[in-house]
A and B are shown apart, each in its own frame.
Chain A
Amino acid sequence: MIYQALPLWVLMTSLVAALVVFVAGERRHRLRITVNLAAAVFKLLLVAVMLVGVLRGDLFLVRFAVLPGVELILHADALTMLFTTLSAVLWLVTTVYAISYLEQRPNRARFFGFFSLCVAATMGIATAGNLFTFFVFYELLTLATWPLVVHNGWPKAMAVGRLYLRYTLGGGAVLLLGIVALNSLGVPGDFLAGGSLDGVEKTHRAAVFGIFLLLLGGLGVKAAVVPLHVWLPSAMVAPAPVSALLHAVAVVKAGAFGIVRVVYDVYGLEVMTELQLGTLLAAVASVTIIYGSLKAIAQTDLKRRLAYSTVSQVSYIALGVGLGSPLATVGGLVHLVHQGLMKITLFFCAGNYAETHGIHKITELNGIGRRMPWTTAMFTLGAFGMMGAPPLAGFVSKWYLGMGALQAEALWVIPVLLVSTALNAIYFLPMLYRAWFAPPADREAAAGLAEARLGLLVPTLCTGIAALGAGVLAGLPLSPLSWVAFIVAQEYGE
């Protein structure tokens, strides 16, 4: 039984870590750091064990009846493992980054407590077995991230916090309405491989269509789909590790992951194509991709540009899922991992620039390459990856997306991909040019090497190399690409 309840233990590790950190209080730094790191490593081990288990096809299932006819279900299937591994790895790296980033800052116990609570919520979202459980952890994620967004306590942070709440809680309410509506149609909302609508769409055609819009609206807030993305750029006021892990990986991916779950495991592909919901999703995604890239160009602040880049990149996943052909799905799902790795590297670099030289604006990047070579190298790696330059990870996902579009005869997607790649180049290349070739503005900047301190640099290097590896070594058995192929094989049942 213990083995079967592994998803629960994965979730509990960070929950317990959070409680210990809260109880430990502000003064005991040594204890807090050890607890955090130990929890992160232990979780990684558990995830590894689960990974092997899922590969072997073992069953991981925990059920808990909350109401007559409504259950909390935690299970682990191939899709869960994709998101769980990504989060577990990045949580460890970001914890190391955050420990050194917040060296002298106040309220660290509060920060790390909510930090591990966020990861627990993300694990919950990943291992959720039905829409009800998904929603429980989806809202818990909102509650856990708000304190991190307003961590600095400045009036501006408070205003952003209010905006963040308005969007996320509003989205949560819409999502709840969708789930309850689905439930009242007699669909319990369990995540089953081919979708669990089992014929309801025949009788209640309009209702099912409407409910999809509700679900999309609720999930779209966190997946930063165009009209609902406003909170993401302004949430950059949060400290760097928060914007790195949460707004590049946990929160945004939770929304995308939700859309994937709904499309594949609740509605199922036949219903999606039959009700034309697939093309609707793809259209919305495309609009977001283009809009996000355009807005990114207009930004002067480094983190805001990266934020808008995230807005557009996440919609690649939605695009892949929307197209519905196996190759497109592979492209979309693998981009979930690739984008996560690349974007976290870029945010780490942004954090390094801000922390060591107080650089926030893009104009201040001149000549930084000479002074912080390693960070800028990683930044360049990440940038090229995002642009989709072969053989990096970005290219792999865009390649599959393109092939998928062809497979699904959605030819209009190809120009969207090309235009977005071009736009990526437009907002990334000038930054790289400034960093490497432009002369540093003031004299003391040319004094020589002033790299970020080790605690910040090492995590950046790790994620950079991982992003590189994901692209170059895509062919290896345990690489994200092959794992996604394994998922798609299950979903499409070849």
Chain B
Amino acid sequence: MNLFDALTALLLVLLAWRCLIVPDLFRSIVLFVVFGLLLALTWARLDAPDLALAEAAIGAGVLGVLLLGTWRALGSPRRGETPSSSLPAGLRVLSAAGSAVLAGALAYGLHLLPGTGDGAGTLALETLPLPATGQPVTAVLLDFRSYDTLLETAVLLMAVVGTWLARSPLLDALSSEDATAHTPVMPVLMRLFAPVLLVTGAYLVWAGAYTPGGAFQGGAVLAAAGVLLALGRRLGTAPDAGWLLRLLLVLGVLVFIGAGLLLMPAQNAFMAYPERWAGLIMHLVEYTLAVSIALSLLLLFTGRPGLRGISG
């Protein structure tokens, strides 16, 4: 029984339980972010480096900023104590019992599962050298099950359009009276961190083909750079998205579908890339995807369709 694993698992559960139980909203958000970071650590421990990166960048990073931003934008009356549950005590006990049974059943189920050797996983590992990318997860994402990845980018696009329709921009709510506006330190931080973030993001995207990384993780880091610039007043929002921004937003999906459809007659199957250019196409798709994801996550944060640079 490895102490580290037991401790992490216990801490995870404790954090999640506190996050859901504690009445104060701000405290539960902070707990949730810490829970996300610890989860990223757990995944690194469970030999899933890609996911650790993704969870840290997207789950804890972007989501953390969004949660804190939303909490900030909720306005004073709503922020403090969240009303304790209105359910009668009996129902709470019932739901507690129900969830306990669910958890127990799931745990016992997972425990029972035999490790099947002949599943799709082993098949994927065996056919690894075939697709251009060495990294197994990226291979699955961009080649074997690239259909899922494509649909997923469409989900991101829908979320962005949905956020526009919700018409509740986050950035504007934080603008004026925020403490960060007037401190000299912010420009220093931005000048130092923004380029570092951009470089790391680009590296992650490029490295995705061979080492853990890829479009999503890289995109998230790039988005983080964008959020930093937005908070530092270098990046403002605009009422309507210019055509360039819209093009970049959908670039990933367009290239993905385009590559699939145009090459379909040749290979008689959707998204089956011919041998010679497979590597090239995948890289192209990955880069455009990263750009689209970065912009989408940024727009999910700002909440308004347009973006404009603010000088000085």
A contacts B: CB pair < 8 Å = no
